[in-house]
């Protein structure tokens, strides 16, 4: 009786190869991102990419890994960040080369804080631009669109946030003891708002409303940079943080019905505040403007002047004619939070003017 010996090497090869009409075909795993017929590109950022990104490098010392990205139809992205060993709290983040990051989803202790993943980005579209397809966010061009999962592992390493005694702190998940930034602030008076007070910024409004129902601070996180731990609200660095209840009138000298908060009008250079990033406009000429803050509005200027938006967290933004509308709209992370957006960029404590350099 004869015996047949099987070469182990050939047996291993046979697991990966399949014969089709006499040809050997290697089976490759599905690509990521798997965006099928979408003509816009999606890049997945690693830690070095983030460190080299102008708007997002403050996240460069945090653990980073790839999300799963798919597109079923019309470039509508479905994005999922899965936990990695040792990390149960993290963010899904969109990066670009022409602005700060946009936070898309937050997970605390393996649970999404708003809706379950996969998440999509509202008001994100793939359009043709200058002969090629590009991503647009709120109709503004996004250059070098990229995605990453970013760990949220240091929330209890930042200095404790103190209260003025009238502001309540309430954990949004008391069973999670290793997340010191996952809370909401409450005020006894329904007309008051919990503001984050710092020594280097103006009081910050979460965009979630007022009163005893509380304001969620989903955009607040503790970021490790080298050996330093600092509080950030979106891309705004905060120092010596405390929480105080107050009103827009007390903080800004005016009231607003908009949950996003006050959008101030600049009629003269002296109206610009110490906390606004002014850049080259510190000696500019201020023109007559015509506009009223609303959920959507445009700043109209006289000939020779351009609409410019100032904020705490970004250099001045000259509003292009192609994207003239400023919006008080949903925060991409959760629609119970509202944010100011101009030219596709999130604004904190904004003000607008007609300027001429």
Cα–chain center distance at 247: 25
Model confidence over 281-297: pLDDT tens digits? Answer: 999 999 998 888 899 99
Confidence of residue 210 (pLDDT cuts 50, 70, 90): low
Tell me the whole-structure pTM to 2 decimals. 0.88
73 vs 104, higher pLDDT: 104
Model confidence over 129-175: pLDDT tens digits? Answer: 999 999 999 999 999 999 999 999 998 999 999 887 777 878 888 88
Cα–chain center distance at 105: 9
| CA-based radius of gyration for the chain | 24
Q: What is the mean pLDDT of the chain?
A: 88
Q: Annotate the chain with three-state secondary structure.
A: CCCCCCCHHHHHHHHHEEEECCEEEECCCCCCCECCCCCCCCEECCHHHHHCCCCCHHHCCCCEECCEEEECCCCCEEEECCCECCECCEEEEEECCCCCCEEEEEEECCEECCCCCCECCCCEEEEEECCEEEEEECCEEECCCEEEEEECCCCCCCCCCEECCCEEEEECCCCCCCCCCCEEEEECCCCCEEEEECCCCCCEECCCCCCCCCEECCCEEEEEECCEEEEEECCEEECCCEEEEECHHHHHCCCCCCCCCCCEECCCHHHCCCCCCCHHHHHCEECCEECCCCCEECCEECCCCEEEEECCCCCCEECCCCCCCEEEEEECCEEEEEEEEECCEEECCCEEEEEEC
Cα 228 to Cα 143, 180, 193, 225: the distances in Å are 30, 17, 30, 5
pLDDT given at position 214: 75
Q: Are 94 and 147 in contact (CB under 8 A)?
A: yes
Q: Are 149 and 87 in contact (CB under 8 A)?
A: no
Q: Are 42 and 124 in contact (CB under 8 A)?
A: no
Confidence of residue 27 (pLDDT cuts 50, 70, 90): very low
pLDDT given at position 30: 52
Q: Tell me the C-alpha distance between 151 and 137, whole Å.
A: 24
pLDDT given at position 31: 62
- Count CA atoms closer than 13 A to 311's CA, side-chain side: 25
- Does residue 320 register a pLDDT over 90? yes
pLDDT given at position 213: 66
pLDDT given at position 107: 96
- Does residue 313 register a pLDDT over 70? yes
């Amino acid at each position: 009786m004869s015996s047949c010996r099987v070469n182990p090497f050939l047996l291993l090869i046979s697991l990966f190869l399949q014969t089709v009409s006499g040809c050997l075909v290697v089976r490759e795993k599905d690509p990521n991102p798997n965006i099928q017929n979408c003509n816009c590109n999606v890049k997945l950022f690693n830690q070095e990419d983030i460190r080299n990104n102008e708007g997002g490098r403050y996240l460069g010392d945090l653990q980073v890994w790839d999300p799963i990205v798919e597109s079923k139809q019309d470039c509508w992205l479905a994005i999922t960040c899965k936990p990695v060993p040792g990390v149960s709290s993290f963010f899904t983040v969109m990066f670009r080369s022409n602005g700060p990051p946009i936070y898309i989803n937050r997970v605390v202790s393996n649970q999404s804080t708003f809706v379950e993943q996969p998440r999509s980005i509202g008001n994100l579209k793939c359009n043709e631009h200058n002969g090629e397809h590009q991503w647009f966010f709120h109709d503004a061009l996004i250059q070098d669109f990229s995605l990453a999962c970013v760990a949220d592992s240091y929330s209890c390493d930042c200095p404790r946030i103190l209260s003025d005694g009238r502001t309540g702190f309430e954990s949004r998940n008391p069973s999670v003891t290793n997340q010191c930034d996952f809370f909401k602030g409450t005020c006894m008076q329904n007309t008051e708002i919990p503001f984050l007070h710092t020594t280097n910024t103006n009081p910050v409004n979460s965009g979630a409303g007022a009163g005893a129902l509380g304001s969620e601070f989903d955009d607040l996180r503790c970021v490790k940079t080298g050996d330093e731990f600092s509080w950030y609200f979106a891309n705004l660095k905060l120092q010596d943080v405390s929480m105080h209840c107050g009103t827009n009138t007390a903080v800004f000298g005016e009231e607003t019905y908009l949950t996003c908060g006050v959008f101030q009008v600049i009629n003269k250079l002296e109206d610009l505040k110490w906390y606004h990033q002014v850049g080259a406009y510190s000696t500019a000429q201020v023109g007559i403007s015509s506009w009223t803050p609303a959920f959507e509005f445009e700043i109209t200027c006289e000939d020779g002047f351009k609409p410019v938006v100032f904020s705490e967290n970004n250099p001045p933004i000259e509003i292009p004619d192609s994207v003239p509308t400023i919006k008080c709209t949903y925060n991409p992370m959760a629609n119970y939070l509202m944010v100011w957006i101009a030219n596709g960029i999130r604004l904190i404590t904004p003000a607008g003017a007609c300027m001429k350099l």
